[in-house]
Structure 1
Amino acid sequence: MDESTYIRRQQHLANIYAQLQTCEEFYLAAHELQAVGISASPASVAENGEVIFTPGFFRAYPYEVLAAYSIDEIHQNITYCPHIISPLRDVPNLDSQLRAHEHIVDPEARLEAARQSLILRLSEYWLEWNVVRRVHNHVDSQLVAFRLGLPDGFTLLHLGSLQRDYMENIISDSDPSPFSTGVNFMHWKIEDLLDDSSEQTNPHAIISVLTETDASAESESLTLHEVHAIVTMMMIRTSHGPWARDEIQPLLAITYTGEGSVRITQASWQGETLVLQFSPLWDLQHSESAPVDLIVRYYLSQLGPVDPAAQRGPDFNALAELASGLTLGLTSRPSDEQMNMS
């Protein structure tokens, strides 16, 4: 990427970020994103459930891995930090609360104490941030557990093309924060990062985004949190590091939302336009057919080739002129109760 193009892209990215910082519209439709130079569109889903990104920089691992590689219970137990699969739907119930109050001798008093405790536990269980953490922890624990069928001490992450990294390893003091700063009730976090630790081959990266937003309220739109996290990660990766001047910057964002759903978004640069292609929402918290294996396989993605010549997008000046005269709307935001992270 030549210097002038790089400078224009960074200025455009900074302009997008500034508008997101002050935006109070909580669900962003395609036309609202287009106003700031982001092209967003829903991606199709194949019969096998995989998302069809065009071009496809990330392809789900080609077969189901949870059944193919069962948990290595013996190796788990001999490690200092055994990895336990976090439950996905361990809903509090009256029986569990009765057992917790066995020390109360009087049956009626014990039953009443168990009922009151259950009410409290259920209210805590369904808090948006607790739901988000529970679903994310379940998927993450599948990724880091030792598995049979792999060399001793290997996890599913060893099957993927990218390796786990830590945000503190790549972020600088001048970078935007990878989590909510509390501005405009914005509560989200970039939790994980997978990238090419060799810094030689692949500009691709995968992140987990956690947000307590109920994305299902407007499932055809992207939430402000999702877009904010993606733009933040793009600013970090294009500002410094081995891939700062890569023309495409392929990024896969796997977002966990407040109602227990997951959405996968592929982000990339097409010319000087940020392009987002997003999947439907999958319900992992309530559905007995939750596609956990599919989500895991996207963390293990096979990487598609990066070809700048095939990625020429719309004229940047036209988009910049449009963006300069339009801003994101100020029509809705969640209540304080919705966004309570305590």
Structure 2
Amino acid sequence: MESQRPSYCLEIRRLYRLIESTSVEYLSVDHLRELGIEATQVDLADGKLQFDPCFFQPQQHNLHEKYPLLDKTQKLRELSFRLSWDRCLRQAADEIAKWVRTGYWSAEDLKSGEETLFKLAENIFAWGQIVQHSDDVGTCSHETLLYMEDLLGAERVNLDLPLQDLPFYLSDLSPLTEGWRYVAEVGEEYVRNKLTMARTKERKGDPELANLYYPHKVRWRIEDRLEDFEPTDPKPHAILWNWVEFAAGVAPQRLTIHEVQSIVRWFMIRAKRSTWRQHRIQPMLLVSYTGSKDGRIVQAYYDGKKLNLQFSALFQMKDEKTAPTDLFLRYTISNPIGHTLLVDKSS
């Protein structure tokens, strides 16, 4: 175990230095291999990405149908922004109704309600025109990620649960847990004191899991992650999702440098931790949303010799009717599987 650990750390550090100094924006499979990273694009068959080996088992198909919204009137984000005058009027009416409900508007104010309604609708329409013609790819990728998070966090019906356990969320299907949710459940003091808790928390000197503030560079960020918080025998699997302020659709069969940075920086942080030292393989799944309103899923793991990346095709996420949202949801809350220990305990 100790003999393998240093070589793993050295290899990850080597990759980190190489990737951070790389100026190429799109990395082909051949280019990645030249850097020492084995990369393969995998197919989608029967609703599953053909990862081999596979460390993440997706949830069942058609999650929307099995777990419908608890309240069909609850407002979720929209993936595609379709501008119409009727939509602007509805948004303006909703805003005025909120003003009345909160007491911001009085009965006297309602006398000029129709005039205000049209003025507000005109402002919404003008703002929408700007958004529709905007080339802000950062906004596109971040909005896509927020839309998917809305679907994960929406209140839903689960007929398999008793009423007292409702509402139910799709994120409840995951055996892994988001960091912020774990803190909320057990309390910040517990988190501070439970030193053995399996959590990859950034420390001073770690590379940042984001690139947000540097001038003249593309912004990207790992928005959140799922890990196993079991303190005694945690699984090393991790699921991360990020947004990249960059149009990946220009070269759909290549990974962007920013996606590879996300992966290598994560492994760099993991290499410093002892929590999963007994695990030869520490798989991660990156669910990535890009500025060309696309998304892809990447499985990454270190096999003892080199870093392996298996990535899906680039899927269009431009329209609710055609976007593979079910596929992305199923993998975001997938189950960790596969052998990762140095010695298989079952043998």
- The normalised TM-score by structure 2 is 0.77
The answer as to whether partners of 2:225 and 2:239 remain within 8 angstroms in 1 is: yes
The answer as to whether partners of 1:178 and 1:229 remain within 8 angstroms in 2 is: yes
For residues 9-29 of structure 1, what are the alpha-carbon distances to aligned partners after superposition, in whole Å with 9 as ceiling and x for unaligned?
212211211122221100001
The answer as to whether partners of 2:279 and 2:342 remain within 8 angstroms in 1 is: no
* One-letter identity of the residue aligned with 2:206: D
Match of 1:133 in 2: 142
Counterpart of 1:226 in 2: which secondary structure?
A: helix
* One-letter identity of the residue aligned with 2:17: A
- Higher mean displacement: 282-291 or 246-255: 282-291
Counterpart of 1:70 in 2: which secondary structure?
A: coil
Distance 1:204 1:262 in 2: 21
Identify which of 168, 171, 174 aligns with 2:202.
171
* One-letter identity of the residue aligned with 2:79: L
Match of 2:83 in 1: 92
The answer as to whether partners of 2:247 and 2:290 remain within 8 angstroms in 1 is: yes
The answer as to whether partners of 1:211 and 1:225 remain within 8 angstroms in 2 is: yes
Identify which of 50, 54, 57 aligns with 1:56.
54
Identify which of 240, 251, 255 aligns with 1:207.
240
**Superposition deviation, residue 287 in structure 1:** 6.5
Counterpart of 1:190 in 2: which secondary structure?
A: strand
Match of 2:5 in 1: 6
Match of 2:39 in 1: 40
Over aligned residue pairs, what C-alpha RMSD do you find? 3.1
* One-letter identity of the residue aligned with 1:282: F
Structure 1 residues 16-27: aligned runs within 5 Å: 16-27=15-26
Distance 2:124 2:244 in 1: 32
* One-letter identity of the residue aligned with 1:160: S
Match of 1:188 in 2: 220
Structure 1 segments of 4+ aligned residues over 6 angstroms from their partners: 109-115
Q: 1:244 to 1:260 in 2, by over 3 A?
A: farther
**Superposition deviation, residue 211 in structure 1:** 0.2
Structure 1 residues 312-323: aligned runs within 5 Å: none
The answer as to whether partners of 1:214 and 1:259 remain within 8 angstroms in 2 is: yes
Match of 1:336 in 2: none
Counterpart of 1:254 in 2: which secondary structure?
A: strand
Q: 1:169 to 1:69 in 2, by over 3 A?
A: same
Distance 2:278 2:311 in 1: 24
Counterpart of 2:260 in 1: which secondary structure?
A: helix
Identify which of 296, 301, 307 aligns with 1:268.
301
**Superposition deviation, residue 63 in structure 1:** 2.9
Q: 1:116 to 1:184 in 2, by over 3 A?
A: closer
- The normalised TM-score by structure 1 is 0.78
* One-letter identity of the residue aligned with 2:77: S
Distance 1:72 1:110 in 2: 31
* Structure 1 unaligned regions, length at least 5: 78-82, 312-342
The answer as to whether partners of 1:237 and 1:244 remain within 8 angstroms in 2 is: no
**Superposition deviation, residue 133 in structure 1:** 1.6
Match of 1:319 in 2: none
**Superposition deviation, residue 274 in structure 1:** 0.3
For residues 88-146 of structure 1, what are the alpha-carbon distances to aligned partners after superposition, in whole Å with 9 as ceiling and x for unaligned?
113333444577697489x9x9999887554323234x521111122111111111122
- Higher mean displacement: 112-121 or 209-218: 112-121
Counterpart of 2:82 in 1: which secondary structure?
A: coil
**Superposition deviation, residue 308 in structure 1:** 5.7
Match of 1:122 in 2: 132
Distance 1:174 1:240 in 2: 13
Distance 1:310 1:275 in 2: 21
Q: 1:245 to 1:213 in 2, by over 3 A?
A: farther
Aligned residue pairs total 299
Match of 2:272 in 1: 239
Q: 1:184 to 1:232 in 2, by over 3 A?
A: farther
For residues 238-271 of structure 1, what are the alpha-carbon distances to aligned partners after superposition, in whole Å with 9 as ceiling and x for unaligned?
2115124521111000000111111000000112
Match of 1:338 in 2: none
**Superposition deviation, residue 64 in structure 1:** 2.0
Match of 2:330 in 1: 297
**Superposition deviation, residue 207 in structure 1:** 0.2
* One-letter identity of the residue aligned with 1:31: D
Percent identity at matched positions?
A: 27
The answer as to whether partners of 1:255 and 1:262 remain within 8 angstroms in 2 is: yes
* Structure 2 unaligned regions, length at least 5: 94-113, 184-198
Distance 1:113 1:300 in 2: 39
* One-letter identity of the residue aligned with 1:178: L
Distance 2:124 2:29 in 1: 48
Q: 1:135 to 1:241 in 2, by over 3 A?
A: farther
Q: Does 1:197 align with 2:229?
A: yes
